[in-house]
Amino acid sequence: MTPPRAQHIQGDSAWQRVDFISDVHLDASEAATFEAWKNHLLHTPAHALFILGDLFEVWVGDDTPEPFAHACLDVLAQTAQRLPIYFLCGNRDFLWGTQTPPAFMGWLDDPCLLSLGQHNFLLSHGDAWCLADTDYLAFRAQVRQAQWQQDFLSKPWPERHAIGLALRQQSQAKQQRMQQYADVDTQAARQALHQAHADTLIHGHTHRPAEHDLGAGLTRWVLSDWEALATPPRLQVLCWLRDQEKSPSRGLCRVNASTKP
């Protein structure tokens, strides 16, 4: 598989801290996770925020009438008044922004190349490189087509909402049957990094936070999913710190979300 050419974002030289999150899976039934996410966005000391997909548990159109969705958008809009926010879609929210993308955020291609300090970071949701999950990749290829999206979005919102819930239930049932989730293919990750002239891949999707040494000076950092009521809570943020960019971790470290002012 040949990775698509990556969009390039040059980080601002004034950025001292950059936050990366993914797989928050915001949902009206998960109030504690929403509150933790809200508090982190409103109080993080970061100078920029990158959201690498699956911010929402399900998103079936920008015309959503759900108050919870609009509450989430209000938090993002407030946050964007004090720091730039960038978003690339995941497998749960790939329809977000296809009709009326919020103007207060930067919308990224997947993958996207981010230059910070001395390093180039390749950003992705990660699902496209889980090559062993062939059923999902076939589904992904179908729903990312413009005609499929146009046909789906032409349906009434209640019908789309019902379809979205059914797909979520199917996904959850599949996950329960699987002994282990498909992971990002190592060779595909190396190939993408080489093509993008990057040294570090940052992605989510797999819900298995770790740092992987890919050899030849290449690394892969996996973001955590979020669940405030888990034991212990999973509210992890990956940070890049400019004053640590010369460290072996290239300035990356994991911190708990800022849940209080």
Q: What is the pLDDT of residues 33-77, one digit of tens each?
A: 999 999 999 999 999 999 999 999 999 999 999 999 999 999 999
Average pLDDT, rounded, for the chain: 93
Q: What is the pairing mode between strands 85-88 and 48-52?
A: parallel
pLDDT of residue 186: 96
What average pLDDT does the segment 8-16 reach? 96
Q: Is the pLDDT of residue 85 over 50?
A: yes
pLDDT of residue 4: 60
Q: How far apart are CA 110 and CA 261, in angstroms?
A: 33
Q: What is the pTM of this model?
A: 0.95
Q: Is the pLDDT of residue 234 over 70?
A: yes
Q: How do residues 138-196 score in pLDDT, each as one tens digit?
A: 999 999 999 999 999 999 999 999 998 898 887 776 666 655 678 999 999 999 999 99
pLDDT of residue 1: 44
Q: What is the pairing mode between strands 236-241 and 218-222?
A: unpaired
- Domain map of the chain by residue range? 9-256
Helix (H, G, I), strand (E, B) or coil at 169: helix
Under 8 Å between Cβ of 237 and 255: yes
Q: What is the pairing mode between strands 200-203 and 210-215?
A: unpaired
Neighbours of 228 (CB within 10 A): 17
- Residue bearing the bigger pLDDT, 6 or 112: 112
CATH of domain 9-256: 3.60.21.10
Q: Is the pLDDT of residue 137 over 70?
A: yes
